[in-house]
């Protein structure tokens, strides 16, 4: 990511345009505007940063680029040849406007490698803590300005110190690199994965609420478990798991320190609850995130001692509970059976049976009753995913699929 905050695909489009070096002055601004409108970025500002490493507002950048194109035409007439966009830009910015006082000529690939090494962790290839802080501050400012949410995931490898002590630091490095790769593949291009320190990782999720962050963190957790269970590392079979905590802007804080602290508290809770899990903050009323139920979710509730089932409308579900709407009242603390069915055809349907207890009954005049049910045993992952609209699915559909 050469230009801070610019998606790779957008940067590639701008670089391809700038690489022409002799673009048509009449169509060049319109082509930039088209890229900006399509990708939702200040294209003139980004182009100036790519061209000359100058940070200008989009309005000022558009004016300066126009002046550079005019200067290129004057140089062409004076020299009898077209010097190109880059030479014209260097001459104009250094000798005319004097925005560059001591420009350096360097091959772009070499510059990008130097720039990348300053913001990335050399072991894992993820962004480093310095880049994490600057990116987070920028995303928080953007969230305040446009009223958007933002989430942070803090992840920590379980039992890493013991593995590192037993097999050595070189083996520990292999584990860290492997986990870093799994994290990177589980998130969007617009997310920012960082090595926060030691065996701790952080992921910044722009435009993502708490449910979306939970879904992403769970995806990372599952992939780590599966990857280390199925494949060896450096010829050794070790079982690795990861615990995580979540904080969201603005609910959990509006400055970096508060959000990191809140996410860390959630992470410590995950460790205290037994590790290999993603935990919410202790102030949350529920220990598990509830997801909106699919419109096609099919639930039935019945008394433990009876044989009849009452179809109910599922509103949301978690691994340990459900909120349903029903015309028939149930008594608080009443023990019930719950049947969850998935599948379109009778021969392909799956049915899960759990027992639970009514923990809340809230009459709704227009809707009957909203009833909260706490399950005695957690739902299996396959049941939960079949019955709910996972937050990560909607998030990825809007922002691009995961790798």
Can you give the pLDDT at residue 219? 92
Q: What is the CATH number of domain 122-279?
A: 3.30.70.270
pLDDT at 151: 93
3-state SS of the chain: helix, strand, coil percent to 5?
Answer: 45, 25, 30
Shortest CA distance to 176 belongs to which of 203, 201, 193, 152? 201
Report the distance separating Cα 197 and Cα 191, nearest Å: 18
- Pick the closest to residue 274 from 378, 165, 127, 122 (CA basis): 378
Which pair of structure tokens corresponds to residue 346?
Answer: 């009778």
**Residue 230 known to be catalytic:** no
Cβ neighbourhood burial of 89 (10 Å; 0-12, 13-18, 19+) = buried
Q: Which residues, other chains included, contact 95 with Cβ-Cβ below 8 Å and sequence gap of 6+?
A: none
pTM of the model: 0.59
Give the list of residues 6+ apart from residue 398 with CB closer than 8 angstroms, or none: none
In the chain, where are the structural domains located? 8-118, 122-279, 294-387
Of 11, 139, 199, 207, the active-site residue reads 199
Strand order in the sheet with 200-206: 192-197, 200-206, 150-158, 241-249, 278-279
pLDDT score of 63: 93
Pick the CATH number of 294-387 from 2.60.120.10, 2.40.10.10, 3.20.20.70, 2.40.10.220: 2.40.10.220
List of residues 6+ apart from 86 with CB closer than 8 A: 21, 51
Q: What is the pLDDT along the chain (403 residues), one digit of tens a residue?
A: 445 555 667 777 888 888 887 888 889 999 999 888 887 888 899 888 888 888 889 999 999 999 999 999 999 999 889 988 888 888 888 888 888 877 765 555 555 554 555 688 999 999 999 889 888 988 888 888 888 889 999 999 999 999 999 999 999 999 999 999 999 999 988 899 999 999 999 999 999 888 888 889 999 999 999 999 999 999 999 999 999 999 989 888 888 889 999 999 999 989 998 999 998 765 555 556 777 888 888 899 988 887 889 999 988 888 788 999 888 778 888 899 999 998 654 445 788 999 999 988 888 766 678 889 999 988 887 888 788 865 444 344 334 434 3
């Amino acid at each position: 990511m050469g230009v801070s905050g610019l998606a790779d695909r957008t940067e590639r489009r701008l670089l391809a345009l700038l690489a022409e070096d002799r673009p048509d002055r009449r169509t060049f601004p319109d082509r930039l505007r088209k890229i900006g409108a399509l990708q939702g970025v200040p294209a003139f500002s980004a182009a100036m940063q790519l061209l000359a490493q100058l940070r200008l507002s989009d309005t000022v950048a558009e004016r300066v680029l126009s002046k550079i194109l005019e200067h290129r035409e004057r140089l062409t007439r004076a020299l009898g040849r077209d010097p190109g966009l880059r030479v014209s830009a260097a001459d104009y910015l250094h000798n005319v406007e004097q925005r560059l006082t001591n420009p350096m000529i360097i091959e772009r690939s070499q510059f990008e490698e130097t720039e990348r090494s300053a913001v990335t962790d050399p072991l894992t290839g993820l962004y480093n803590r310095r880049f994490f802080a600057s990116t987070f501050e920028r995303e928080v400012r953007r969230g305040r300005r446009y009223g958007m949410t933002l989430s942070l995931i803090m992840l920590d490898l379980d039992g890493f110190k013991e593995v590192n002590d037993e097999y050595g630091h070189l083996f520990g490095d292999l584990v860290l690199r492997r986990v870093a790769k799994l994290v990177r593949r589980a998130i969007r291009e617009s997310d920012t994965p960082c090595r926060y320190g030691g065996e701790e990782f952080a992921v910044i999720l722009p435009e993502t609420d708490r449910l979306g962050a939970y879904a992403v963190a769970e995806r990372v957790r599952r992939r780590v478990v599966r990857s280390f269970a199925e494949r060896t590392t450096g010829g050794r079979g070790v079982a690795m798991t990861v615990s995580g905590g979540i904080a969201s802007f603005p609910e959990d804080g509006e400055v970096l320190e508060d959000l990191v602290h809140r996410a860390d508290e959630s992470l410590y809770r995950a460790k205290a609850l037994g590790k290999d899990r993603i935990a919410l903050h202790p102030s949350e009323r529920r220990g598990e995130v509830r997801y909106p139920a699919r419109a096609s979710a099919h639930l039935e509730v019945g008394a433990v001692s009876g044989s009849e089932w009452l179809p109910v409308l599922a509103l949301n579900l978690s691994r340990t509970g459900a909120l349903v709407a029903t015309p028939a009242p149930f008594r608080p603390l009443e023990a019930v059976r719950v049947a969850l069915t998935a599948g379109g055809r009778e021969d392909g349907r799956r049915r899960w049976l759990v027992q639970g207890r009514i923990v809340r009954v809230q009459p709704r005049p227009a809707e009957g009753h909203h009833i909260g049910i706490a399950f005695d045993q957690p739902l299996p992952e396959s049941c939960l995913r079949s019955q709910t609209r996972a937050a990560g699915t909607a998030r990825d559909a809007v922002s691009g699929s995961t790798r």
